[in-house]
Amino acid sequence: MTPKEIVLAFVDAVNAHNVERLGELMTDDHTFIEPHGNKVTGREAMLAGWRGYFAWFPDYQIEMSDIFERENTFAMFGFAAGSFKGSADRKWLIPAAWKAIVRDGQIALWQVVADTKLPFESMSDS
């Protein structure tokens, strides 16, 4: 697969909530950077993170509207959507951006940039 095909396969795996496939597409030292700058390093730690996130947001989806490529680095822009525990009254849709770095046929870095106010608010009881 080309680096772009790897990134698109990763997006497909996220949208399918296919944690096993995400693991196949990550490097052992995969780094995830969330919108507040916190990092998770390591495939196993990140797989646990994805499992937890998909439990919180069982309908989580990302949509890329623009993808820019420079060698093995990608910048993507679009939207993320979901709802806390799948509740119809806790749905959210936010603009988001992602950065991905492909190394040796796998995703070495996945970074998300988004305003997480709505997802966090959807988790509150009020």
Per-run averaged pLDDT (10 residues), the chain, 126 residues? 97 98 98 95 97 96 97 97 90 95 98 84 71
Residue 125 confidence (pLDDT): 67
Q: Which two tokens stand for residue 109?
A: 């870095």
For the chain, what are the domain ranges? 3-122
Q: What is the predicted pLDDT for the residue at 88?
A: 85
Reduced to 3 states (helix: H, G, I; strand: E, B; else coil), residue 37 is coil
If one looks up domain 3-122 in CATH, what number appears? 3.10.450.50
Neighbours of 17 (CB within 10 A): 18
As a whole number of angstroms, the distance between CA 90 and CA 96 comes to 18
Provide the pLDDT for residue 121.
78
What pLDDT, on the 0 to 100 scale, is given for residue 21?
A: 98
